[in-house]
Structure 1
């Protein structure tokens, strides 16, 4: 995780400097339009990357910044996905309101779960999040009359965005829509992490025992960020439903939770863009390696993960930041 070192001129000035948009951030978002012009056949993959990146950002808020280790965050992703699908089944296929309703529903469940999350730590926390994820998956499978079970939710019909842009087979609308929502999610997340609230989350991550001593209501702050994270994950799940018009049990699977943690390790936790970079590397590598070796592509992902952990323990962005720091010195 990224270490937080605040200079002597005070936390407020440090936060203001951190909240400024940098040139490389602007370059990153400009580069996000490259698939439209140079890789139009990969726009469907690009939309999947944007959706997964938003999910990774939601997990990074609690894992990278608050230090809450989770292996069951796909529960909120899947709840958002099913909520968006069931809304269309009920006759309401408007995508933007569907996103908001799905995110709100996931956030509500996240708020309820947060009362349990703040009471456990370390290994018990991992087991609790894992158990909740597995329970939700089995519950969705058992309620096949509502979720479709292993067959998935059928008959999902999403209306055009703003009533004008239909989801086409080539992925132009899907990628534009997913990229716009990802950008808004990053803007909101930046505002959170570069605030006094975000600074208190770093304090919880680095030394939970000292936070009550300085009068910080750490449980309330953990509940707040967990609820926000669940809501963003639910929006990511709803995005997947709306852009593919399908919902399956895979949205709730442990594999999805584990994969997003791998993405954060690759890109770097506690760096906001680490999850996005990790999602790009992971999904592009999976797409290419699956074509080369459909059976053993995960072997190469594991090899890549080991190389990054050994050579750049703080992730790719952490390694690049270390190199840039040395060059400046």
Structure 2
């Protein structure tokens, strides 16, 4: 969904109009449509089967993007477009200052929308399905439709992220559809704490700091540091770490 949102925003800027906000809406729509179309099939399965099917869909989209060179640029990537001024007044600068504030503003809006969605009755129903699917079905909750709606909403957020990437860097490559990007996002969620919206922000910040710091020390083995920290987080949960710190230092404090 990230890659499709990125390509949709890039193609729209190149062939239709370079307005950032309209292009962002196009990216959001593209991510939501792909999620809704594939989710109608994927969400009938669970567990490892669901995981492998999502990987298969990603590889199919990657193959289509590679073949549609006239639209995506293929291996060379999609470039050659210049974003228009934001709100018709603020031009994107080479230093990326406007792009940074623009991305931050979109992040705040999307985070607020996601928070309202999670705390809504719809979001509570999805959380209940995550905890106990059979019980929610017994209570009369339309499990499939709730999951499908949440999947489409997640696709819309991923499409927004892809559109931001395309607009702020002015280039879209096939790596936006690669499995490695999905793996990095998963690592970020685990580092920050899966199941919490704030965990996505914390995990992304921790991953980027580790990435740049470890790569500056050893550009060939920086993934070893990230992998070691990931193993530590998985083996020692945050709850256990907090409990240990309280038992160790609570009395002294």
Q: Please report the TM-score for the alignment, with normalisation by the length of structure 2.
A: 0.93
Q: Distance in 2 between matches of 1:197 and 1:322?
A: 36
Q: Secondary structure at the match of 1:241?
A: helix
Q: Distance in 1 between matches of 2:100 and 2:214?
A: 23
Aligned to 1:3: none
Offset at residue 312 of structure 1 (A): 2.2
What pairs with 1:32-43 in structure 2 (closer than 5 Å)?
A: none
Offset at residue 323 of structure 1 (A): 6.7
Of 16, 24, 28 in structure 2, the residue corresponding to residue 103 of structure 1 is 28
Offset at residue 90 of structure 1 (A): 0.8
Aligned to 2:167: 242
1:250-296 Cα shifts (integer Å, max 9, x gaps): 11110010110111100001111101100001012111211211111
What pairs with 1:223-302 in structure 2 (closer than 5 Å)?
A: 223-302=148-227
Q: Distance in 1 between matches of 2:219 and 2:230?
A: 19
Q: Distance in 2 between matches of 1:263 and 1:98?
A: 27
2:231 pairs with 1:306 = yes
What pairs with 1:1-329 in structure 2 (closer than 5 Å)?
A: 76-312=1-237
Q: Distance in 1 between matches of 2:136 and 2:32?
A: 25
Q: Distance in 1 between matches of 2:245 and 2:33?
A: 42
1:285-311 Cα shifts (integer Å, max 9, x gaps): 111211211111101110111122222
Unmatched 5+ stretches in structure 2: none
Aligned to 1:57: none
Q: Distance in 2 between matches of 1:243 and 1:91?
A: 18
Q: Distance in 1 between matches of 2:83 and 2:176?
A: 18
Q: Distance in 2 between matches of 1:152 and 1:232?
A: 23
Q: Secondary structure at the match of 1:198?
A: helix
Q: Secondary structure at the match of 1:309?
A: helix
Q: Secondary structure at the match of 1:211?
A: helix
Aligned to 1:11: none
- Describe the shift of the 1:127–1:288 C-alpha distance in structure 2 as closer, same or farther (beyond 3 A): same
Q: Distance in 1 between matches of 2:75 and 2:222?
A: 25
Aligned to 1:52: none
- Describe the shift of the 1:182–1:319 C-alpha distance in structure 2 as closer, same or farther (beyond 3 A): farther
Q: Please report the TM-score for the alignment, with normalisation by the length of structure 1.
A: 0.72
Offset at residue 247 of structure 1 (A): 0.5
What is the total number of aligned residue pairs between the two structures? 248
Aligned to 1:29: none
- Describe the shift of the 1:161–1:305 C-alpha distance in structure 2 as closer, same or farther (beyond 3 A): same
